Amino acid sequence: MRPIFALLLGVAICGGVSNVVHAQDSTPASSGVYTEQQAARGSALYQSKCASCHGADLSGGGTSPALAGPDFLANWTGRPVAALFDTIHKTMPADQPGTLTTQQAADLIAFLLRANRFPAGKTELPADTVHLKHILMDQAPSAPGN
């Protein structure tokens, strides 16, 4: 019985260390993880592919959630940007799910970050989950509703 307890304790300790390392390896979205040019591409794409359901002002409507403001931030804060990327890339637009390219999904996220007052940076948001797993949604310094 003791060897099993020791094994379980070891797994629990390693899991805790792993989470600490992951947190240290993460980049907050508020550190400028997209460019203004990328957000501008995302804005144009949003107007053509997303605004009819989510609203021109990102306020949502009907069954479509708001993509800016406190509710959006409450849903995504603390989660890796990869989760938002996967949701957009695989399920949007609702009438043609999975038709956006990975670059379009990244551009849309850049636009959403800008709309939620996350600052722009000098490099584009990557268009793959491998890198996006290391970027965490945090609270923008001047996010709507603060």
**How much is the pLDDT for 142?**
66
**29 located within any domain:** no
* Number of domains making up the chain: 1
Record the pTM.
0.81
Per-residue pLDDT of the chain (146 residues), as tens digits, is 444 333 333 433 344 333 333 456 899 999 999 999 999 999 999 999 999 999 999 999 999 999 999 999 999 999 999 999 999 999 999 999 999 999 999 999 999 999 999 999 999 999 999 999 999 999 877 655 54
**How much is the pLDDT for 141?**
74
**15 located within any domain:** no
**17 located within any domain:** no
**145 located within any domain:** no
Both tokens of residue 58? Answer: 């990102």
**How much is the pLDDT for 67?**
98
**68 located within any domain:** yes
**100 located within any domain:** yes
Residue reference for tokens 């060897």:
3
What's 67's domain CATH number?
1.10.760.10
**How much is the pLDDT for 139?**
87
**How much is the pLDDT for 15?**
41
The per-residue pLDDT for range 34-71, each reduced to its tens digit, is 999 999 999 999 999 999 999 999 999 999 999 999 99
**141 located within any domain:** no
Reported as half-sphere exposure (CB side, CA atoms, 13 A), residue 134 has a value of: 12
Both tokens of residue 97? Answer: 């799910």
Domain of 46, in residue numbers? 36-136
**How much is the pLDDT for 24?**
61
Greatest alpha-carbon span in the chain? 62
Taking the C-alpha atoms of residue 118 and residue 61, their distance in angstroms, rounded to an integer, is 23
**76 located within any domain:** yes
